[in-house]
Amino acid sequence: MKLTMPRYDQAAVLVVGDVMLDRYWHGGTSRISPEAPVPVVRVDQIEDRPGGAANVALNIAALGARALLVGVTGNDEAAESLSDSLNGAGVETHFQRLDDQPTIVKLRVMSRHQQLLRMDFEEPFNTDTVALAREVDTLLDGIKVLVLSDYGKGALQNHQVLIQAARNKGIAVLADPKGKDFSIYRGASLITPNLHEFELIVGGCADEAELVSKGATLMRELELGALLVTRGEHGMTLLRPDHAPLHLPARAREVFDVTGAGDTVISTLAASIAAGEELPLAVALANLAAGIVVGKLGTAAISAPELRRAVQREEGSERGVLSLDQLLIAIDDARAHGEKIVFTNGCFDILHAGHVTYLEQARAQGDRLIVAINDDGSVSRLKGPGRPINAVDRRMAVLAGLGAVDWVVSFGEDTPERLLKQVQPDVLVKGGDYGIDQVVGADIVQAYGGEVRVLGLVENSSTTAIVEKIRSK
């Protein structure tokens, strides 16, 4: 399965569910309380993060998709904090605010990146289900996916009404289920229980074969379009009627905190499906995203650049020979990570010591080095008959193998000016003994505020001289 980044900017997802605020008190500990055998935390930082359904919506927005959120809160300071942070991140919030009940808050006391205590402030909501369903119905136009983010806190009490409203408009419904009754999700396009939640419904599974068998029965009974069981360190399993099961291994390199991992899975799934991706690819992307988030502390949103870099690493396109479209995506990702882009160009027909030294010097001018090389027709026009000695694909492969080179791309014109206008590197580098004003493309780069640098060449190293020497023998 080849992974690609979806066009999340074309996706629109509506999230309905239990909204909560994850609040963190951070501070140092240096002594034990004289009142009880507990550490004393000197709080020096308070941090608020959207949790539950709010975290799902935040993750969807972080991927670049349009995210709408319907939920229930109190009419209090915590609700204001949620609204401010979500709206600031681009989430459209539609809260049913209750004057007589508090917003759900989960307060965690942290010290040295360790959670010492969690305190929950919550009461089951007395939701006006008719008003909430009416609100959802008014927001469904233009939506590609509806997510039911169910934490059993009372915001969702009319699952079937919401599922049917979405299905009547051809909208896929994804549900992150809770509780011991999955019949409330009947007719959903996909549900995403973790293994513990799944086994509470179907009973223990001794092995994957039993998991697949019981999952198939559950899908049949509940008329589900698909079932995704997340299995922690064992990855996840996608089941679909009339399809072979898809088992994906866990992708986390180091598990630091599993808080919010389920939110990341369903948000990536929803955004990917809404962007038009097939379900297996959407699941693979969600698996990658989950591997990223468990390496972070607390609930955290996965950004599009983070996911894109993981995809590039997975597909081996983080470095090497790229098409122009791939290169532009890689550059966007690098810039999102604050990296400086360096560009150089040439024929590089026969790679020699001078080239290697020059490329190492060029790479030192920034964080990522692009080497653009003339294609075969361009080299022939510039160097004359009999050149190039090596075809463009071989020249690109050799350059891509150098540690100093990040990306290699070819161009067909005699100069890289058109490429420079599209790539817009931070630094244009050229080797030689001429002035900056003589570097082809210097005016283009300087016009948008980039730098142009001329580096010296290693003496007695010339491709033309090497070719002439070979021909003279």
**Per-residue pLDDT tens for 356-395?**
889 999 999 999 999 999 999 999 998 888 888 888 999 9
pLDDT: which is higher, 405 or 306: 405
Q: What is the mean pLDDT of residues 146-169?
A: 92
Binding site residue list: 194-197
Cis? peptide before 388, omega within 30° of 0 = yes
- Residue numbers belonging to the annotated binding site for ATP: 194-197
Dist. CA 28–CA 345, nearest whole Å: 52
Angle, helices 279-293/304-315, rounded to nearest 10 degrees: 110
Give the CATH superfamily of 6-313: Ribokinase (3.40.1190.20)
Residue with tokens 């290169």: 327
The residue with tokens 């002035």 is: 435
Using a 10 angstrom Cβ sphere, with 0-12 exposed, 13-18 middle and 19 or more buried, the burial of residue 459 is exposed
For 214-242, write each residue's pLDDT tens digit. Answer: 999 999 999 999 999 998 878 889 999 99
Where in the sequence numbering do the catalytic residues fall? 263
Where along the chain do its domains lie? 6-313, 318-470
Return the DSSP state at 168: T
Taking the mean position of all CA atoms in its chain, how far away is CA 418? 30
Q: Do domains 6-313 and 318-470 have the same CATH topology?
A: no
Does residue 354 or residue 252 have the better pLDDT?
354
Average pLDDT over residues 115-144: 90
> What is the Cα–Cα distance from 213 to 410, expressed in whole angstroms?
51
The end-to-end CA distance of the chain, in Å, is 51
The answer to whether the beta carbons of residues 101 and 46 sit under 8 Å apart is no
Tokens at residue 468, please? Answer: 């002439």
Q: Residue 206 burial (CB < 10 Å; 0-12/13-18/19+)?
A: exposed
Domain spanning 318-470: which superfamily?
Answer: HUPs (3.40.50.620)
The mean pLDDT of the chain is 88
Q: Which single residue is written with the structure tokens 């010296």?
A: 456
Q: Rounded distance, CA 228 to CA 199, Å?
A: 13
